């Protein structure tokens, strides 16, 4: 009996010792996993720590692959977009010369013929000139040597001097003077030296599309009605052929030339109207920016600065704005009244005011403000 009790006690002690060892091992394993977790977390923080890191920086880092893809796709598609603009514009001009111009010469009065010939060719010359200058003119880039400039910041991406109103284009991978945006339809940045060409192209292209839409409205209605009549007669012809009623006279077929003429007129009107709406909205947007003396990028920067100063009870003033009318004169390069004809209504390759590195008052503004300063 005593031997059985001793054996039972020994077994229980052995069982308790095993449980105690298992618990120690389990606690040791949990402790080791916790230590590894804290160590890995500390290493990750030490490698990625930045006192300027916030939610916006983390979000930008996560979207960096998307930005890279968009930049490279936009750079490659720029050539395709330029070819598309040239192809669509050429097709519209070809339709006007082949289909509409003979009709105008046959049916319109001499006064209207002179008006259409003069305005249409002037508008076409302005579109071609400004588009060519916009895609071939460099927007302007700051010099790489810092000794040439004073009081400028440094671009964080290209590690080069960054004058006022200069921004880095991730698609061109360069800093651009007075950058407005990167336009894929130009395959070029819109900056200090080609901003006027870009806006003039948008303006004259919109005017040309509106001119084609208004002038071709009656032709479009007739062509659309003719196409619907073609479809109806084609359906009747198929029904006659299916019923095999040879005693009936089949409807007269439309020739290929007639079909091509009507479809070309419809294509011209639809394309010109669509471009007029889309490009007209863009032109109005840029016209409002020019009136305020801002670029597309500066509009967002100035809006945030205006809100920040408003909270402090202060008023924000754009240092690059000279007033609505004077902003247009500076943008278009109008120094004397005759420049409205030679530099605005006619093709002109004149350079903008200043170099884009510093922003002193233009000469025309200085002459107007001298009497006020004298007082």
Residue 106 burial class via C-beta count within 10 angstroms: exposed 0-12, middle 13-18, buried 19 and up: exposed
Q: What is the DSSP string of 234-294?
A: HHHHHHHHHHT-TTSPPPPPPPHHHHHHHHHHHHHHHHHHHHHHHHHHHHHHHHHHHHHT-
Alpha helix locations (H) across the chain?
Answer: 2-48, 55-62, 64-95, 101-107, 110-136, 195-215, 217-243, 256-292, 296-311, 324-332, 339, 363-374
The rounded distance, in Å, linking the Cα atoms of 196 and 351 is 9
Contact by Cβ (8 Å): 330, 364: yes
Residue 183 appears among annotated catalytic residues: yes
The rounded distance, in Å, linking the Cα atoms of 17 and 275 is 87
Contact by Cβ (8 Å): 328, 291: yes
The rounded distance, in Å, linking the Cα atoms of 42 and 24 is 27
DSSP assigned state of 112 = H
**Tokens found for residue 359:** 């922003």
Q: Which one of the listed residues 183, 189, 202, 272 is annotated catalytic?
A: 183
SS3 316: coil
**Tokens found for residue 155:** 């671009």
DSSP assigned state of 189 = E
Catalytic residues: 183
């Amino acid at each position: 009996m005593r031997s059985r009790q001793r054996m039972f006690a020994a077994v229980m002690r052995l069982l308790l010792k095993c449980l105690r060892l298992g618990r120690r091992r389990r606690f040791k394993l949990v402790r080791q996993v916790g230590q590894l977790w804290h160590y890995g977390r500390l290493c990750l923080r030490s490698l990625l720590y930045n006192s300027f890191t916030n939610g916006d920086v983390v979000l930008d880092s996560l979207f960096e692959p998307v930005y890279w893809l968009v930049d490279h796709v936009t750079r490659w598609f720029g050539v395709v977009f330029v070819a598309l603009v040239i192809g669509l514009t050429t097709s519209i001009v070809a339709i006007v010369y082949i289909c509409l111009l003979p009709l105008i010469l046959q049916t319109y009065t001499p006064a209207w013929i002179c008006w259409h010939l003069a305005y249409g060719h002037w508008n076409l010359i302005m579109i071609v000139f400004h588009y060519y200058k916009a895609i071939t003119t460099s927007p302007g880039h700051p010099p790489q040597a810092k000794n040439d400039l004073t009081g400028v910041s440094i671009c964080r991406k290209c590690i080069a001097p960054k004058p006022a109103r200069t921004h880095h284009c991730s698609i061109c991978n360069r800093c651009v003077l007075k950058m407005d945006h990167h336009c894929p339809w130009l395959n070029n940045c819109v900056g200090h030296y080609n901003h006027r060409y870009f806006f003039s192209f948008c303006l004259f292209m919109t005017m040309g599309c509106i001119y084609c839409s208004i002038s071709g409205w009656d032709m479009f209605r007739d062509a659309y009605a003719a196409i619907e009549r073609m479809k109806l007669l084609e359906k009747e012809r198929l029904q006659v052929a299916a019923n095999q009623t040879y005693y009936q006279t089949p409807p007269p077929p439309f020739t290929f030339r007639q079909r091509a003429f009507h479809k070309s007129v419809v294509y011209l009107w639809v394309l010109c109207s669509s471009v007029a709406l889309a490009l007209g909205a863009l032109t109005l947007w840029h016209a409002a920016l020019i009136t305020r003396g801002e670029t597309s990028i500066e509009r967002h920067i100035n809006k945030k600065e205006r809100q920040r100063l408003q909270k402090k009870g202060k008023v924000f003033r754009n240092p690059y704005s000279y007033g609505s009318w004077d902003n247009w004169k500076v943008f278009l390069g109008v120094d004397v009244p005759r420049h409205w004809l030679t530099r605005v209504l006619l093709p002109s390759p004149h350079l903008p005011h200043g170099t884009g590195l510093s922003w002193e008052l233009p000469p025309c503004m200085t002459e107007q403000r001298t009497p006020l300063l004298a007082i």
